[in-house]
Amino acid sequence: MTSARYTAALIVTVLLGAARPAAALEPIIHSDRSVTFRIEAPEAQRVQIELKVDDLRGQQPAEMKLGPEGVWTWTSPSLDPGFHYYFVLVDGYRCADSANPLFLGWQRPTNGVEIPDPELTSYLPRRVPRGDVRIHPYFSALTSQWREAYVYTPPGYDHPDQRRYPVLYLQHGAGENQTSWMRQGRANTILDNLLAEGRCQEMIVVMDHGYAYSGESSDPSGQRRHNLFPRLLLEELIPEIESHYRVIADREHRAIAGLSMGGGQALSIGLENLGKFGYIGCFSGAVREVPLPADDSGRPLDMATINQRLKLLWIACGTEDFVIDRSRALHEQLDQMGIEHSYITHAGTHEWQSWRRHLTLFVPQLFAP
Amino acid sequence: MTSARYTAALIVTVLLGAARPAAALEPIIHSDRSVTFRIEAPEAQRVQIELKVDDLRGQQPAEMKLGPEGVWTWTSPSLDPGFHYYFVLVDGYRCADSANPLFLGWQRPTNGVEIPDPELTSYLPRRVPRGDVRIHPYFSALTSQWREAYVYTPPGYDHPDQRRYPVLYLQHGAGENQTSWMRQGRANTILDNLLAEGRCQEMIVVMDHGYAYSGESSDPSGQRRHNLFPRLLLEELIPEIESHYRVIADREHRAIAGLSMGGGQALSIGLENLGKFGYIGCFSGAVREVPLPADDSGRPLDMATINQRLKLLWIACGTEDFVIDRSRALHEQLDQMGIEHSYITHAGTHEWQSWRRHLTLFVPQLFAP
């Protein structure tokens, strides 16, 4: 739509207050699970779609073809069920198709397309009691910044019985943020559905941003700096949650899990603080070596104590995931060390459908009375 | 950044789990309040910035100039303090600069730039107790769709005293959604600050999407259809809120307000349901004529009853706002009808800085005991 036409349409919308938002050129999902993408850009010389069907394998952007009315199209091969990120490139400029849904991934709002899954449906909303996801602002002294935690409270949380709940700290992957487990992962919907089926305990789920840096929010030099998130979680986030929500504040009722980068964070924060966490989940974890299990003061623990403290250490990975070798090596190293754990593999890639599956399998194992 | 370099950077991020997110080319705000926009698009033929400095006046896009390293720049004239939407056009394609913050406006995620205001500061976060904004999912039978209300609860809401609270229903403008009063308007921060200063009553603020259509979510024909939102608010949203939150459910403790299109909605829903609402706020309202005040069954009321029921009817508009003539006409018509109200004007345009100001002035007048 031209700029003048767009503005004119909006003026009509404002003054009449009744217009339906303009229709987007949505991706068309075909029955064979291929997808036709459409971008209206009549003046562009070249338009591409960069589809991230297994996140990090670095597919080359696909060339779209210009058709009638300035609309470029490209049809993908058949895709796996689940959620796939994609970028639009217009004459080489990587941008978002802001007429279609955006999700925080790849360090920025990124488009996503959802292919229905005939098997896994735990993330689809059902007519069951729904919990809220609370945007909880708090000030971090460590970074001198305001942050927002996303906090799922189960449907019964506001009842006047004043019950207290166990807590799962749930971390996203690289380039994502505190919104991603809700928006891409549908973690709140998965919890609502499991609860309605009586398949898990009621719990609070805390989703925070897994990056924390002191000083200014941007770093023009582009240099990598030390991520303070593990310290922030232990020193600021947990106390913040425990002073604002009705939480059972002990290791038997505190879990940590995450995906990819967040799986590595969960494994190291969890194992290095076995006085704080009784349950650890590592989903498609990007892990180089097993952290040395320790109590909260950094004192190493003997194997009997480790296994007594660890009520669950759960490792999962898809067999088509590019980190499958690391996951298997992690499993084998844990075996060699004598650390009890579960190791699950399944058909799946390094994508959100795997992590929805992992959460659906992991949560029912937490906090059994 | 090229596609390959971008992917490589992300892989490093994933595996090391410590990289700082890549620096964006942020808009540079100069001391004279002009702004330099920067877009890296070395292969583009033409890049423009479409800055919406007074929302609907339909400025022409400005031509950016290509400089070193493929970065296009354009410097705006001096801008008013506050929040301004802008679009990026790359070879005519209207897109979002997804490396910079996006806000739901103009029916889609849209960039925004924030010019500090030396006078109005009520929307800046302070180290005071903060309320949560709850994302509350609910199913609408009227539209057969899941919706999300954003519900601000004041800092004391979770205390075990089980107090009940009055409610303000607060509506966004055309092309915006339930996130806009929080993200652009900073309504939750304004409430937190007013509460900390003892300048307003504790209240719940409900922000929902002011559009509601039955049937599918997209309408390929592009035809306008009847917006069911007023019915949805009365028949579904208010009962939903009152069954899930600790609310005082009477007209003395229920307010409705909105901006632009939402101001028109607040005025008509409020005046036509004076059995339900005691307080009405119309901020830069896009209003053609005064709705006939009525009780909830549509029965017209006499002027004495109207004025007795209306604890506050508050109309506000900036003098540079393109709807100032409509606002003045509304004020005069209310005067002619004998409907008591407040009419406030101030220096300001049809933009968020005016609406932050309106909310800051309106909220302290609500629910005085």
For residue A90, the chain B residues in CB contact (below 8 A) are 44, 90-91, 93, 95
Task: Quote the CA–CA distance of A100 and A109 in Å, as a whole number.
Answer: 11
Beta-carbon contacts of residue B65 (< 8 Å; ≥ 6 apart): B72, B73, B74
Task: Could you list the beta-strand ranges (E) of chain A.
Answer: 28-29, 35-40, 47-52, 62-63, 65-66, 71-75, 82-90, 93-95, 102-105, 108-115, 132-140, 145-153, 167-171, 204-207, 254-259, 279-283, 312-318, 342-346
Say if residue A133's pLDDT is above 90: yes
Contact A125 B106 (CB under 8 A): no
For residue B56, the chain A residues in CB contact (below 8 A) are 7, 10-11, 14
Tell me which residue in B13, B95, B102 faces A174 most closely, judged by beta carbons: B13
Say if residue A138's pLDDT is above 50: yes
Instruction: Tell me the pLDDT of chain B (369 aa) as tens digits.
Output: 444 444 444 444 444 443 444 457 999 999 999 999 999 999 999 999 999 876 545 578 999 999 999 999 999 999 999 999 999 999 999 998 988 999 999 889 999 999 999 999 999 999 999 999 999 999 999 999 999 999 999 999 998 888 999 999 999 999 999 999 999 999 999 999 999 999 999 999 999 999 999 865 445 454 557 899 999 999 999 999 999 999 999 999 999 999 999 999 999 999 999 999 999 999 999 788 888 888 888 888 999 999 999 999 999 999 999 999 999 999 999 999 999 999 999 999 999 999 999 999 999 999 988
pLDDT band at A5 (very low <50, low <70, confident <90, very high): very low
**Mean pLDDT value across residues A51-78:** 86
Predicted pLDDT at A2: 44
Residue A309 contacts residue A251 (beta carbons within 8 Å):
yes
CA distance A93 to chain B (A): 5
3-state DSSP assignment of residue B29: strand
Best-predicted range by mean pLDDT (A15-24, A55-64, A341-350, B280-289): A341-350
For residue A50, the chain B residues in CB contact (below 8 A) are 3
**CB contact residues (below 8 A), chain B span 14-53, against chain A:** 14-24, 26, 39-47, 50
Predicted pLDDT at A224: 53
**CB contact residues (below 8 A), chain A span 315-344, against chain B:** none
The answer, for A98 touching chain B at a CB cutoff of 8 Å, is yes
Predicted pLDDT at A54: 65
CA distance B266 to chain A (A): 12
CA distance A340 to chain B (A): 25
3-state DSSP assignment of residue A87: strand
**Which residues sit opposite B247 in a β-bridge?**
B165
Q: Which among B157, B279, B96, B329 is positioned nearest to A132, based on CA atoms?
A: B157
**CB contact residues (below 8 A), chain B span 128-147, against chain A:** 130, 132-139, 146
CA distance A145 to chain B (A): 10
Task: Quote the CA–CA distance of A355 and B180 in Å, as a whole number.
Answer: 30
Q: For residue B123, give Cα distances in angstroms to A87, B83, B94, B353.
A: 34, 11, 30, 9
Task: Quote the CA–CA distance of B157 and B164 in Å, as a whole number.
Answer: 9
pLDDT band at A160 (very low <50, low <70, confident <90, very high): confident
Q: Pick the more confident residue, B297 or A333.
A: A333
Predicted pLDDT at A58: 56
CA distance B47 to chain A (A): 10
Task: Quote the CA–CA distance of A92 and A75 in Å, as a whole number.
Answer: 19
The answer, for B124 touching chain A at a CB cutoff of 8 Å, is no
Residue B223 tokens read as 């035809």
Predicted pLDDT at B204: 98
Task: Quote the CA–CA distance of B167 and B239 in Å, as a whole number.
Answer: 12
User: DSSP string of B170-229?
Assistant: EE--TT--TTHHHHTT-HHHHHHHHHHTT-S---EEEE--S---SS-S--TT-------H
Q: Which among B329, B216, B208, B218 is positioned nearest to B269, based on CA atoms?
A: B208
Query: Any idea what the Cα angle at residue B209 is, between residues A206 and B158, rounded to 5°?
Result: 40
Q: For residue B84, give Cα distances in angstroms to A166, B55, B185, B255.
A: 43, 8, 12, 28
Contact A23 B219 (CB under 8 A): yes
Q: What's the full length of chain A, in residues?
A: 369
Tell me which residue in B21, B127, B139 faces A211 most closely, judged by beta carbons: B21
CA distance A304 to chain B (A): 30
Say if residue A287's pLDDT is above 80: yes
Secondary structure tally for chain A: helices H, strands E? 9, 18
Identity (one letter) of the amino acid at A183?
Answer: R
Predicted pLDDT at B58: 56
Minimal-distance CA residue of chain A relative to B266 = A17
User: How many CB atoms lie under 10 A from the CB of residue A239?
Assistant: 12
Contact A211 B3 (CB under 8 A): no
Query: Any idea what the Cα angle at residue A135 is, between residues A214 and A260, rounded to 5°?
Result: 60
CA distance A321 to chain B (A): 14
Q: What is the dihedral of CA A15, A21, A23, A27, to 10 degrees?
A: 160
For residue B227, the chain A residues in CB contact (below 8 A) are 17-20
Interface confidence (ipTM) of the complex:
0.93
Beta-carbon contacts of residue A129 (< 8 Å; ≥ 6 apart): A155, A156, A192, A195, A196
CA distance A205 to chain B (A): 14
For residue B213, the chain A residues in CB contact (below 8 A) are 20
The answer, for A164 touching chain B at a CB cutoff of 8 Å, is no
Contact B90 A89 (CB under 8 A): no
Residue A355 tokens read as 């992590």
For A353-367, write each residue's pLDDT tens digit.
Answer: 999 999 999 999 999
Predicted pLDDT at A16: 42
Distance of CA B165 to the CA centre of its chain: 22
Q: What's the full length of chain B, in residues?
A: 369
Task: Quote the CA–CA distance of B355 and B338 in Å, as a whole number.
Answer: 27
Residue B21 contacts residue B98 (beta carbons within 8 Å):
no
Residue B35 tokens read as 């702004």
Tell me which residue in B6, B108, B158 faces A99 most closely, judged by beta carbons: B108
For A106-118, write each residue's pLDDT tens digit.
Answer: 889 999 999 999 9
User: How many CB atoms lie under 10 A from the CB of residue B92?
Assistant: 21
Predicted pLDDT at B215: 66
pLDDT band at A292 (very low <50, low <70, confident <90, very high): confident
The answer, for A282 touching chain B at a CB cutoff of 8 Å, is no
Strands B132-140 and A65-66: unpaired
* Residue with tokens 């920067």, as numbered in its chain: B38
Of the residues A1, A2, A10, the best mutation for testing chain B's interface (the one with the most B CB atoms within 10 Å of its CB) is A10
- Dihedral sign from CA coordinates of A57, A210, B111, B27: negative
Contact A88 B95 (CB under 8 A): yes
Contacts across the A-B interface (CB distance below 8 Å): 251
Predicted pLDDT at A297: 86
Of the residues B10, B64, B148, the best mutation for testing chain A's interface (the one with the most A CB atoms within 10 Å of its CB) is B10
Contact B42 A130 (CB under 8 A): no
CA distance B136 to chain A (A): 5
Predicted pLDDT at A57: 54
